């Protein structure tokens, strides 16, 4: 059992997987329309509702940014592993690989981007990565329930296995010769992005089939990882929609 918090995250779980919610705790001091509509949705899904005070909710999730709603949940049944998920897909695969993202806000934003552009799964290492924390669920605004997330033991080996499934793996680098706007994207694709401070690890970089540069004309040298992911996934979506 674990907790998620915030209206968007819990509402998404109610709509996608209501059976996984064990109970919802809400701030008894709130009686506004948003809370009333939220309670009605929970009642329609036969979820147990428990009144609570703001301080206790803050203590449960270790932040006061819960908006007055916290849900105790169990894990949703997902494909057993990445191979099982790939075997179920019939068309081109679109994946996002995150090599050691530490900030829950960055991971949450990446999940939202992944959902927006039809990514089938997000893949990350088990170690040296933030994982699906309550803060990630809140920032993701429901995308943590719609995009499968696989934490793997060996990222480089997983990337090699993806290649065996016919997936082309692309990474971004400021010094890459190829420009994203002139880079043809087709078939099954996985985009790789590194950590906030160090970028991709050497072995991860070496496992990429191609490195691509995001063209920039301003004075800054790099973009936030979720922004970079959004740009590359949008271009992938745009090109494949025209194919």
The first and second tokens of residue 178, run together, are: 């190829």
Are 147 and 197 members of one domain?
yes
- CATH number at 211 reads 3.40.1280.10
Confidence category of residue 145, pLDDT binned at 50, 70, 90: confident
Overall number of domains in the chain: 2
Same-domain status, 141 and 58: no
Domain check: are 39 and 126 in the same one? no
- Domain match, 104 and 50 both: no
Percent of the chain past pLDDT 90, that is, above it, reads: 67
Question: Does pTM top 0.85 for this prediction?
Answer: no
Q: What digits encode the pLDDT tens for the residues 66-98?
A: 999 999 998 776 666 888 888 888 788 999 999
Average pLDDT, stretch 25-40? 92
- Same domain? 122 vs 174: yes
Judged on CB neighbours under 10 Å (0-12, 13-18, 19+), 14 is buried
Round to whole Å and give the CA distance between 29 and 118: 39
Contact between residue 193 and residue 137 where contact means Cβ atoms under 8 Å apart? no
Give the pLDDT mean for 198-212: 94
For range 8-36, the mean pLDDT: 89
Query: Are 29 and 134 found together in one domain?
Result: no
Mean predicted confidence (pLDDT) in 5-31 = 89
Same structural domain, 28 and 68: yes
Q: Nearest 5°: CA angle at 201, between 123 and 140?
A: 35
3's enclosing H/E stretch is strand 2-5
**Which whole number is the average pLDDT over 25-54?**
93
pLDDT (mean) for 141-170: 93
* Residue range(s) defining the domain that contains residue 48: 2-73
Higher pLDDT, 219 or 207: 207
Average pLDDT, stretch 111-127? 94
* CATH number, domain containing residue 23: 3.30.1330.30
């Amino acid at each position: 059992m674990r907790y998620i918090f915030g209206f968007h995250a819990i509402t998404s779980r109610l709509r996608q997987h209501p059976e996984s919610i064990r109970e919802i705790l809400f701030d008894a001091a709130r009686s506004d329309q948003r809370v009333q509509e939220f309670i009605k949705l929970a009642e329609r899904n036969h979820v147990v509702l428990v009144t609570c005070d703001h301080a206790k909710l803050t203590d449960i999730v270790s932040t006061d940014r819960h908006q007055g709603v916290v849900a105790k949940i169990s894990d949703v049944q997902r494909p057993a592993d990445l191979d099982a998920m790939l075997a179920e897909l019939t068309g081109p695969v679109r994946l996002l690989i995150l090599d050691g993202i530490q900030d829950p806000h960055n991971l949450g934003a990446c999940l939202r981007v992944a959902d927006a552009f039809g990514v089938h799964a997000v893949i990350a290492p088990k170690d040296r990565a933030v994982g699906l924390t309550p803060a990630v669920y809140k920032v993701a605004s429901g995308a943590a329930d719609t995009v499968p997330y696989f934490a793997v033991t060996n990222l480089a080996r997983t990337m090699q296995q993806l290649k065996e499934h016919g997936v082309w793996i692309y990474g971004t680098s400021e010094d890459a010769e190829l420009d994203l706007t002139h880079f043809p994207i087709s078939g099954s694709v996985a985009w790789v992005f590194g950590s906030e401070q160090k970028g991709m690890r050497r072995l991860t970089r070496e496992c990429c089939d191609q490195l691509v540069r995001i063209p920039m004309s301003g004075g800054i040298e790099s973009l936030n990882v979720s922004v970079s992911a959004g740009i590359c996934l949008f271009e992938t979506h745009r090109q494949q929609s025209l194919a």
